[in-house]
Amino acid sequence: MKKDGTPIILLSFTRTILLADLLLAILIELICFFLNLRTFTAYGTVLTWVGNALIIFACITGIGGFASRAQDATAFSRSGAGNMFENLQRISDARSSNLGCFLHLFFAGLLLMGIGYFVETIPFLF
């Protein structure tokens, strides 16, 4: 098995979140354009709402059931080292476990909310 270092895993995690947010922001911009919401404030508000919805969806996904908890326990036991950070890296890499999906959706929602708040303040900056 290939050993990945912490910076590579963090870079991969960050890259997937940024790519997902970029695609969501473009899709939201197209929807706003066709709904005739063409101001920065409207676009920022919609981005904030979608970010909130994504965080709520992440929390609902994070609740999970027994099968997802069993997947997490299997990921913990595979490392064998007992190192908590290494176990969390394995779960984050899996992206199919409950915690990995929750982390990706949660941070994507937080970033969308941040972008939304920034876009809302653009008219006030200039």
Question: What pLDDT, on a 0 to 100 scale, did the predictor assign at position 114?
Answer: 95
Question: What pLDDT, on a 0 to 100 scale, did the predictor assign at position 78?
Answer: 66
| d(C-alpha 82, C-alpha 101), whole Å | 22
Indicate the pTM of the whole model. Answer: 0.72
Question: What pLDDT, on a 0 to 100 scale, did the predictor assign at position 51?
Answer: 96
Question: What pLDDT, on a 0 to 100 scale, did the predictor assign at position 125?
Answer: 84
Question: What pLDDT, on a 0 to 100 scale, did the predictor assign at position 10?
Answer: 82
The answer to whether the CB of 76 falls within 8 A of the CB of 70 is: no
Within 13 Å and on the Cβ side, how many CA atoms surround 54?
Answer: 24
Question: What pLDDT, on a 0 to 100 scale, did the predictor assign at position 77?
Answer: 67
Question: What pLDDT, on a 0 to 100 scale, did the predictor assign at position 106?
Answer: 92
Q: Angle, nearest 10°, between helix axes 98-125 and 6-34?
A: 60
Give the number of other Cβ atoms within 10 Å of residue 42's Cβ: 15
Low-confidence ranges of the chain (pLDDT < 70): 1-4, 64-73, 75-98
Phi/psi class of residue 82: alpha, beta or left (left: φ > 0; alpha: ψ in -120 to 50)?
A: left
